[in-house]
A and B are shown apart, each in its own frame.
Chain A
Amino acid sequence: MSNIDLSINFAGIKAPNPFWLASAPPTNTGYQIMKAFEAGWGGAVWKTLGVPVQNVSSRYGSINYRDTRMAGLNNIELITDRPLADNLREIEEVKKYFPNHAVIASLMVESKKEWFQIVKDVENAGADGIELNFGCPHGMCERGMGSAVGQEPEVLNTIVQWVMEAATVPVITKLTPNISDITDPALAAVRGGTSALSLINTIKSIVGIDLDTYAPYPVVDGKGTNGGYCGPAVKPIALHMLKELAGHPEIRNTPISGIGGIETWRDVVEFILLGATSVQVCTAVMHYGFGIVREMEAGLRQFMSDKGYSTIYDFAGKAVPNVVEWKNLNLHYKVVASINADKCIGCQLCHIACDDGAHQAIALPTNGSRVPEIIDENCVGCNLCSLVCPVEECITMERRDDGSQTESWAERTMAGKVPEHFNDPRGGGVGHFVPEPSAALQYKRKDRSGRK
C-alpha cells in the first residue's frame, strides 16, 4: 500500500487527504481543529463566521433506530456565536501549526460590503479557501441568509459573483438540499464563477415529538422549531444530489466536496465514485470523536490497494456513467431469489415480506422444516427477501437471463414496441400470478388470551 497517495488538490486547495470536517460544531474552535488534524483529518471547514447570533439551549435531537443511536441527527444551532476576531486569530494559529492542512472558512453575511470585508478578513488570517454557507435551513434563513439564499438561484448567483470579485483563494459554494432541483442552485453558482461546490447541507426536518409535552425535539422551553437533519439517514439523498451534479454537463467539471451521512470508508468510496473529490464529515465526529477517521482512512487505503489505485482521482466519478435514467435499463435482465437452506435460520421474514409486502413468490415449507421456498415463476427479482434476510449471504439473487439480449424502454419506444393496452402481451404484468383476494381470509388474527 506504500504507493498510495491520498493527497488532494481540490480546486486549488491542497490537503494531505480528502477527509475534511464539515462546517459544524466540531469545527467551532482552533483547539478542535488542531486536535482533528493530529487525529488524521486532512482539512476542516471552520464553523460559519458571519453576523452576531444568540443560540438557544437544547440544540440537537436524534433518530434512534432500534439499538442504533443517532441514525439521524437534527440541530437548531446557528452559526458561530464566538467573536469574529477570536476565530480569525485561531485560524492564523492553526495555519501556523498545520501549514499543509486545508483550513477553509465558512462564511455567511448579508450585504455586499459585509461579504467583501469578511472575505478579506479570512484571507488575511490565512484561510486556504472559502465556503459559502447557502444551506442552513433553520434560524439563519429566517434572517434572509443560509438556505434562503440557496433556494433563490438568482440571489445565490449574485452573492457568488460578489465573493469571486473579492476573493483570491478558491471559493466553494455549499448547497442546500431543500429545493426541488439541485441543479438550479448549482448552475447559478457555477455561472457565478464558483471554484467548487459542496453538498448537501442539512435537510429541513422535525426529528420527533415529545409524547408528554407535545413539543418537537429538541425542546426549548416547551416549544421547538424545524432543524437541519444530517447523519447516516441522509446519505442516500446526498448521493443522489451529488450524482445530479457530477453527471451534469455544465457542472461536472467543477470539483465537488461530498457531504451527508459519511461515517465509514464505504461511504467515502461511494461519494468519490459518484464524483466527490473531497468529503466532509460532521455527525460521525459528533458521535464518535475525531478518531473515527482511522477507520475511514484504513478502509479507503485497503480499497485502493485491492483495486490498484494510487490516488482518489483514479476512481473518482467511476460510478457516474452507471447511474442512468430508468428508461435505459435492460428489460431482459432477470434475477430470481435463491435461499441457501444450510444458512437459513427459519425466521420466515422473507416469506412474510414477499407475501404481504411484495409479490407472493415465497411459500411456507410443507415439509416440516422452516425454510421457505421460492416460487420461481412468481419471483420478479425485486430483492426484498434478500434485504430482509438477517443471515449473511443466505438469500442471493441469481441471474436467469443469458445476457444475450438487451433492450430498454427507450429502445422499445424508438422501435414502436411499447405495449398499447393492458392486455398487450408486450406489457409486464400480463399473466403474472396474483392470488384471489378471498385467499386472504384464511389468515385470521390469533387471539392469544384464548378467550374469544
Chain B
Amino acid sequence: MAEYKRPETPQEYQRNFPPKKPLMNTSEAYYESARCLYCYDAPCMDACPTHIDIPLFIKQINTGNVKGAAATIYDSNWLGNACGKVCPTEQLCEGSCVYTEQDMKPLQIGRLQNFATEAVMQAKTNLFKPGPDNGRRVAIVGAGPAGIACACELRVLGYSVEIFEAKALPTGLTVYGTAPYKITNEEALRENEYLQQQLGYTVHYNHPIQNAAQFAELEKQFDAVFLGLGLGATAQLNIPGEELPGVVGAVEFVEELRMKQHAFQVPERVVVIGGGNTAVDAASESARMGAQSVHLVYRRTKADMGAYDFEYATALAAGVQGVFEASPLRIEGENKASGVTFSRPDGSEFHLPADLVIKGTGQAKQGALLAHLPNISTDAKGRVVVDAAHQTTRPGYFAAGDMVNGGAEVVNAAYEGKLAAQGIHQWIQNKNT
C-alpha cells in the first residue's frame, strides 16, 4: 500500500512534498540562535564549503541584526538562501556542530540561514552593489549555481557579465534537479531575481552555447569565458531494452517532475536503478507522487551506497523498498518497459515488473561540448582540469561546478564559481600589467 495518494492539485502536490526545512518564525529563530555556543574556530565554518562565519550570523540573528546576518552569509556564499535549504547540512555544518559530540541536537544552521536570507529577500533589502565599471566583459556559460556565483562576484569587482543559459530558467539543478521538499521552484528562482536586481547581470535564456563558432564569437566579444555547464544527460547503462519508452534517467525524471509538478504522472510500479543521492531522490519522489510500489535497486551493499543515510531514510519513510546486491541485466518490454531482470552475486536472476524504470546511474560528462574547445584538458574521469584560479588549460577559459568537481552539491558550485570570478579578475589584471 502506498504511503502517498497521487497528487492531483497544486495543494495536494505541496502536501506530498512538505518542506524539509520550513521557514522559522522570529521566536523560533531567537530561541534557536540563543543555543549557539559561539565556538572558537567553529567546526561548522570549516565544514561549510563556502566557510560562512556561522557563529557570527547566528549571533547576529540573536541580537536582532537579521540584515547583518544575511550580509554575513552572502559575504561568503552568493546562494545563501538556496544552500540553507538544499545543502546536506546533516553532513556539513550541522553534522560538525559540537553539540553532536555529546549526542545533543545540533544548531539548525540551515534553517537559521534561511530565516536571515528570507528576511532580506522578502523586504527587498539592498545588500549588494556592483563595483565601479572597469570596462571589461565576461561571458558565463550556464546559469547554474557556479555561473550565478561567478556573475555576482564579477559584478562586485566591476565587470559586465552576460550569462548564456540553454534552458528557460536559472539556477540549474537547484530548480531542475533538487527534491521538491527541499526547495520549491519559486524559492529557487527568487534568489536569482534578488541578486540580479541588485547586481545587474544579464541572462540570455534558451540560449545554448554548443558549437565552436559560438565560442569563437564569445572570445571575440568578451575578455574571458566562464564555463559552468554542469554535467550532461544520465549516463547509459549499456544493457538491452534501455531505449524502450518507460525508461528514463533520474535527472530527467526529477526535471520533468519539477516542471510539471502535480500534472506529472508517475505510474504504479517504479524501479529505480542506482544508489546515489539522485537515484534515492527519484525513488522518494516516485513514492510521493503516488506510485504503488517503488523499488530502489543497487548493485552493491547498502553500506556502499553513495546516497546520504538521511536521504535513504527519507525514501524508506516514503514507502520505497531497497534491494541490494543486484545488477540490472536487461529491461524487458514490447513497445514499452514492463520490468527489469537483475542478477545476484551468486549468478541467480530475478525479475521486477515495472511501468517506469529510472536510471540513477550518474550523469555523463560534457565530452561532446568540450570537443568544440581544443586545449581544454579533462582528467581520466572526464572532469575539466583547472588550476587554483579555476582557469582551464585553455587560456581565458575558466570553469567551476559539477563539470570540474565531477558532480557535487550546490554549495560547492557556488563556492567554486566565486573563486573562479576572483581567478578571472586576477588573470585580467595580470594580463594588463
Per-position binary interface string of chain B over residues 4-42, scored 1 when its CB falls under 8 Å from any chain A CB and 0 otherwise? 000000000000000000000000001100110111111
B contact residues, total (Cβ < 8 Å):
27
A448 touches B31 (CB 8 A): no
A349, B34: Cα distance in complex, Å: 16
**Contact between A348 and B41 (Cβ–Cβ < 8 Å)?**
yes
- Report how far A344 CA is from B102 CA in the complex, Å: 8
For the complex, what is the distance from the CA of A364 to the CA of B43, rounded to whole Å? 14
B253 to chain A, nearest CB (A): 37
Contact in complex: A349, B38 (CB < 8 Å) = yes
Whether, in the assembled complex, A343 has its beta carbon less than 8 Å from a beta carbon of chain B, the answer is yes
Give chain B nearest CB distance to A357 CB in angstroms: 11
Measured between C-beta atoms, what is the minimum distance from B184 to chain A in Å? 29
Residue pair A343, B102 in contact (C-beta under 8 Å): yes
Q: Is A179 an interface residue (CB 8 A)?
A: no
Given A66-B34, A351-B40, A352-B40, decide whether A345 and B76 contact each other with a Cβ distance below 8 A. Answer: no
Q: Does A347 contact B (CB under 8 A)?
A: yes
User: Among the listed B35, B40, B419, B422, which residue makes an inter-chain contact with A347, where contact means beta carbons less than 8 Å apart?
Assistant: B40
Residues of chain B with a CB closer than 8 A to A451's CB:
156-157, 422
Main secondary structure of the interface of A (DSSP, over half): loop
Mark A333-372 against chain B: 1 for CB-CB distance below 8 A, else 0: 0000000000111111101100000000000100000100
Measured between beta carbons, the chain B residues less than 8 angstroms from A351 are 40
User: Count of chain A residues with Cβ under 8 Å from any Cβ of B?
Assistant: 19
Kindly state the separation between the CA atoms of A345 and B103 in the bound complex, as whole angstroms: 10
Provide the residues of chain A in CB contact with B43, threshold 8 Å.
Answer: 346, 370
User: How close is B418's CB to chain A, nearest CB, in angstroms?
Assistant: 7
Chain A residue with the shortest CB-CB distance to B31: A67
Is A450 an interface residue when CB atoms closer than 8 A count as contact?
A: yes
Contacts of B418 in A (CB 8 A): 450
A347 to B422, CA, bound (A): 32
Q: Is B99 an interface residue (CB 8 A)?
A: yes
Determine whether the beta carbon of B30 is less than 8 Å from that of A349: no
Q: Is the CB of A449 within 8 A of B40?
A: no
Q: A392 vs B267: C-alpha distance in the bound complex, in angstroms?
A: 54
Whether the pair A448, B41 counts as a contact (CB closer than 8 A) is: no
Are A450 and B39 in contact, with the CB atoms below 8 A?
no
**CB nearest to A351 among chain B residues:** B40
Chain B nearest Cβ from A362, distance in angstroms: 10
Bound Cα distance from A364 to B39, whole angstroms: 13
Chain A min CB distance to B107 (Å): 12
Interface residues of B in 43-99 (CB under 8 A from A): 43, 51-53, 62, 72, 75-76, 98-99
**Contacts A67-B30, A67-B34, A448-B76; A349 near B419 (Cβ below 8 A):** no
Q: How many A-B residue pairs have CB under 8 A?
A: 50
- Contact flag A448-B53 (CB < 8 Å), given A67-B30, A351-B40, A370-B43: yes
Q: Is B101 in the interface zone, CB < 8 Å from A?
A: yes
A448 to B54, CA, bound (A): 11
- Check: A391 CB closer than 8 A to any chain B CB: yes
Complex interface bits, A363-396 against B, C-beta within 8 A gives 1, otherwise 0 = 0100000100000000000000000001100000
Is A391 a contact partner of B39 (Cβ separation < 8 A)? no
Q: Which residue of A lies closest to B418 (CB)?
A: A450
How far is B52's CA from A347's CA once the two chains are assembled, in angstroms? 17
> In the complex, which residues of chain B have a beta carbon less than 8 angstroms from the beta carbon of A348?
39-41
Closest Cβ–Cβ distance, residue B414 to chain A (whole Å): 12
User: Most B CB atoms within 10 A — which of A344, A345, A352, A390?
Assistant: A345
Closest-CB distance, A303 to chain B (whole angstroms): 28
Residue of A nearest to B34 (CB): A67
A72 to B75 alpha-carbon distance, docked (Å): 36
- A50–B42 alpha-carbon span in the complex (Å): 58
Smallest Cβ-Cβ distance to A388: which chain B residue = B37
Q: Which residue of A lies closest to B53 (CB)?
A: A448
Question: Which B residues are CB-close (under 8 A) to A344?
Answer: 101
List B residues 162-197 near A (Cβ within 8 Å). Answer: none
Alpha-carbon separation in the docked complex, A314 to B76 (Å) = 62
Residue in A closest to B157 when the chains form the complex, CB atoms: A451
Other-chain residue from B30, B99, B102, B422 in contact with A450 (beta carbon distance below 8 A): B422
Bound Cα distance from A4 to B41, whole angstroms: 52
Contact between A349 and B102, CB atoms less than 8 A apart: no
Residue contact B51 to A391, C-beta cutoff 8 Å: no
Is A345 touching B422 in the complex (CB atoms < 8 A)?
A: no
- Interface code A2-33, partner B: CB below 8 Å = 1, 0 otherwise? 00000000000000000000000000000000
A120-141 vs B, Cβ < 8 Å mask (1 yes, 0 no) = 0000000000000000000000
Q: Which residues on A sit within 8 Å (CB–CB) of B52? A: 448
Most chain B CB neighbours (cut-off 10 Å) among A347, A352, A390: A347
A370-B96 Cα distance, complex, nearest whole Å: 12
CB nearest to A353 among chain B residues: B40
Closest to A364 in B: B41
State in angstroms the CA–CA spacing of A236 and B53 once bound together.
36
Whether B40 pairs with A391 at a CB distance below 8 angstroms is: no
Interchain CB contact (< 8 A) of B419 among A390, A448, A450 = A450
Checking A345, A364, A370, A448 against B99 with a beta-carbon cut-off of 8 angstroms, the contacting residue is: A345
Q: Which of A67, A349, A352 has the most CB of B within 10 A?
A: A67
B27 nearest in chain A by CB position: A67
Inter-chain contact B76/A349, CB cutoff 8 Å = no
Tell me the complex Cα distance, A349–B62, Å: 19
A448:B51 contact, CB within 8 angstroms: yes
Chain A residues near B98 (CB-CB < 8 A): 345-347, 370
Report whether A345 and B419 are in contact in the complex, using a CB–CB cutoff of 8 Å. no
In the bound complex, do residue B75 and residue A449 qualify as a contact, i.e. CB atoms below 8 Å apart? yes
Q: Is the CB of B37 within 8 A of A66?
A: no
The contact string, 1 if C-beta is below 8 Å from chain B, for chain A 234-273, is 0000000000000000000000000000000000000000
A345 with B41: CB separation less than 8 A: no
Q: Which residue of A lies closest to B415 (CB)?
A: A450
Chain B residues with CB below 8 A from A67, complex form: 30-31, 34-35
Q: How far is the CA of A347 from the CA of B102 in the complex (A)?
A: 12
Q: Tell which of B40, B62, B418 has the most Cβ of chain A within 10 Å.
A: B40
Complexed CA–CA distance, A346 and B99 (Å): 9
A sample of 16 more A-B contacts (CB under 8 A), given A346-B43, A347-B39, A390-B37, is: A66-B62, A67-B34, A67-B35, A345-B99, A345-B101, A346-B98, A347-B42, A347-B98, A348-B40, A348-B41, A349-B39, A349-B40, A364-B41, A448-B52, A448-B76, A451-B156
9 A-B residue pairings within 8 Å (CB atoms): A67-B31, A67-B34, A347-B37, A347-B40, A347-B42, A349-B38, A364-B41, A450-B418, A451-B156
List residues of B whose CB falls within 8 A of some A CB.
30-31, 34-35, 37-43, 51-53, 62, 72, 75-76, 98-99, 101-102, 156-157, 418-419, 422
